Amino acid sequence: MKIAETCILDISEDVAKEKVALANDVIKLVGPILREDFLLRSKRIREVKKEIVSVKKQLQETKNALETIAKEYKRRKKVREVLQWIEKLPLKSVSKSLRNELVVLLKVVETMSEDKLDRYLARTRSFATKN
């Protein structure tokens, strides 16, 4: 059997002190490396969190814009439907008061609320289907 010579120091009688000394040496050598990695990693985590917040904000703005576009589209669709039903009315058989109401309706149809549009849509449908 060969005995190899090493540079490892012999352990003295107090093993606990030697363990503490060895741990301190390891901490001195590895500590700065770990601190730099920790700082870089925590910096990257903060950047990613900021990115997430900005993406969520942008997503919310886009969602709000799409909701307003959808509401406007729905409203314009109702206006178009009201106008199509008015077009189908036989104007000869419509009374004078209803004609006046239709003229007023045509002037203000773009500014009406949704519930008024629904009411006029139902009324014009019923008039158009009656005649």
Note the helical H segments in the chain. 15-88, 96-108, 114-130
The length of the chain, given as a count of residues: 131
Q: How far apart are CA 93 and CA 86, in angstroms?
A: 13
Q: What is residue 11's predicted lDDT score, i.e. its pLDDT?
A: 61
Q: What is residue 64's predicted lDDT score, i.e. its pLDDT?
A: 97
Q: Which of 130, 91, 118 is nearest to 101 (CA)?
A: 91
- pLDDT digits (tens), the chain, 131 positions: 566 666 666 666 677 787 888 888 888 888 877 788 888 888 999 999 999 999 999 999 999 999 999 999 998 888 888 888 777 777 666 677 777 777 777 778 778 888 888 887 888 788 777 76
Q: How far apart are CA 94 and CA 8, in angstroms?
A: 111
Q: Where are the domains of the chain?
A: 15-130
Token pair, residue 50, equals 């900021």
Q: What is residue 18's predicted lDDT score, i.e. its pLDDT?
A: 79
